[in-house]
């Protein structure tokens, strides 16, 4: 029971991370396509400004909680996915640095370099998270000793790449909507137009991914066994449709919320499909790391549960407050502030 609670929490942390850092990924991915001049580029940077760092902590927490609650899964997962994980970390390093360094030297060439890193630092993680999770859903070739028998190229299979494209589009839509929330004038209109353009692509990718999941993975077995869980994929599609409705009626805030629900449902669709495995082995189901053979001791799980039950709501409360303080439209005055990116 304790293990199952932790499994759900594990999924929840990833879901929150994807919802929050997801729009940062989208903003960065769209940066070269959406912004036409320096003021617009800076608006996009500052749309993520007060948030990206706090958002990234959800990744650290998701990682830390995996380590604490399922140390074996943490160990096998990250040593198996050695290359993609390090690429992802380097991308995140360059993203963070591009925020901080870009405006520190007054030269167009210097800024251009960091714009490239801002793009890569958001696009690459979005893609890799998609590839990695799709491969997890399929199962990865680890043996009974937790030794990985694959390589980076094997992760870039058809289903993995489909997952990658799907994630990139999902976050791009999320970012376009956030851009629309935070901007005015031309940039706002362009952001809405981008959201409209991305939406049908995302719908196709989502449907293709849901279908391919039936072919490449055994995720649906759990759903057949326990049909009420189907609420997640159904709600995912429904919230994606609602997102389109709100884009059409120009309520970008509501559209963003619906897309956030979409992201949560997609994450849980995958997570519940894997249950009780955290890391299914494609070599032999007996080699899979599950909540039964991968969990920490009951004492650690209980202590951690207490910590998380008390502090995660507190964190959510003050982060929500920060969002409420900084969701205003970005004005010229904001960009003139000496601390702005």
List residues near other proteins by CB under 8 A: 49-51, 53-54, 56-57, 59-61, 63-65, 67-69, 71-72, 74-79, 82-83, 85-86, 89-90, 92-93, 96-97, 99-101, 104-105, 145-148, 296-297, 299-300, 303-304, 307-308, 311-312, 315, 318-319, 322, 325-326, 337-340
Question: In this complex, which beta carbon is closest to other proteins, that of residue 162 or of residue 308?
Answer: 308
Q: Which two tokens stand for residue 265?
A: 């449902």
Q: How far is the CB of 304 from other proteins (least distance, A)?
A: 5
* Nearer Cβ to other proteins (186/284): 284
List, in order, residues 6 or more apart from 281 with CB less than 8 Å away: 139, 140, 141, 142, 143, 287, 288, 289
The minimum distance between CB 158 and other proteins, in angstroms, equals: 25
Shortest spacing between CB 290 and other proteins, in angstroms: 14
The string of DSSP letters for 152-168 reads: HHHHSSHHHHHHHHHHH
CB of 85 to other proteins, least distance (A): 6
Structure tokens at 33: 């396509």
Instruction: Report the C-alpha gap between 12 and 268 in whole angstroms.
Output: 8
- Report the alpha-carbon distance of residue 6 to residue 91 in Å, rounded: 29
Query: Which residue lies nearer to other proteins by CB, 61 or 243?
Result: 61
Residue with tokens 């997102």: 243
What are the two backbone dihedrals, phi and then psi, of residue 279, each rounded to the nearest 5 degrees? Answer: -145, 85
Cβ closest to other proteins, residue 63 vs residue 276:
63
Structural element, H or E, at residue 278 = strand 277-279
By beta-carbon proximity to other proteins, the closer residue of 80 and 172 is 80
Minimum Å gap between C-beta 253 and other proteins is 19
CB of 45 to other proteins, least distance (A): 12
What tokens does 72 get?
A: 């074996």
101 or 220: whose CB is closer to other proteins?
Answer: 101
Longest dimension (CA), the chain: 61
């Amino acid at each position: 029971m304790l293990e199952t609670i932790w499994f759900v929490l594990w999924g929840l942390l990833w879901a929150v991370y994807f919802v929050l850092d997801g729009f940062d990924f989208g903003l960065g991915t769209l940066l070269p396509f959406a912004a036409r001049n320096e003021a617009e580029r800076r608006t996009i940077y500052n749309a993520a400004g007060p948030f990206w760092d706090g958002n990234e902590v959800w990744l650290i927490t998701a990682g830390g909680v995996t380590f604490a609650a399922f140390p074996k899964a943490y160990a096998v997962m990250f040593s198996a996915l050695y290359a993609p994980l390090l690429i992802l970390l380097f991308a995140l390093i360059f993203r963070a640095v591009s925020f901080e360094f870009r405006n520190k030297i007054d030269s167009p060439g210097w800024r251009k370099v960091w714009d490239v890193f801002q793009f890569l630092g958001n696009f690459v993680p979005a893609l890799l998270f998609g590839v990695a999770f799709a491969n997890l859903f399929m199962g990865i070739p680890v043996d009974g000793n937790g030794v990985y028998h694959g390589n980076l190229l094997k992760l870039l299979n058809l289903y993995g790449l489909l997952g990658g494209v799907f994630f990139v589009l999902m976050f791009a839509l999320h970012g376009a909507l956030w851009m629309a929330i935070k901007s005015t004038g031309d940039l706002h209109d362009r952001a809405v137009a981008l959201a409209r353009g991305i939406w049908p692509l995302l719908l196709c990718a989502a449907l293709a991914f849901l279908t391919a999941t039936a072919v490449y993975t055994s995720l649906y077995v759990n759903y057949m066994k326990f049909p009420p869980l189907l609420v997640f994929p159904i709600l995912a599609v429904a919230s994606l449709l609602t997102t389109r409705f709100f884009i059409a009626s120009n309520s970008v805030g509501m559209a963003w919320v619906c897309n956030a629900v979409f992201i949560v449902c997609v994450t849980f669709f995958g997570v519940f499909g894997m249950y009780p495995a955290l890391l299914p082995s494609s070599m032999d189901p007996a080699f899979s790391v599950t909540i039964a053979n991968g969990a920490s001791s009951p004492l650690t799980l209980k202590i951690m549960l207490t910590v998380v039950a008390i502090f995660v709501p507190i964190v959510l409360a003050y982060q929500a407050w920060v969002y409420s303080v900084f969701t205003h439209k970005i004005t010229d005055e904001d960009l003139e502030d000496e601390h702005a990116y």
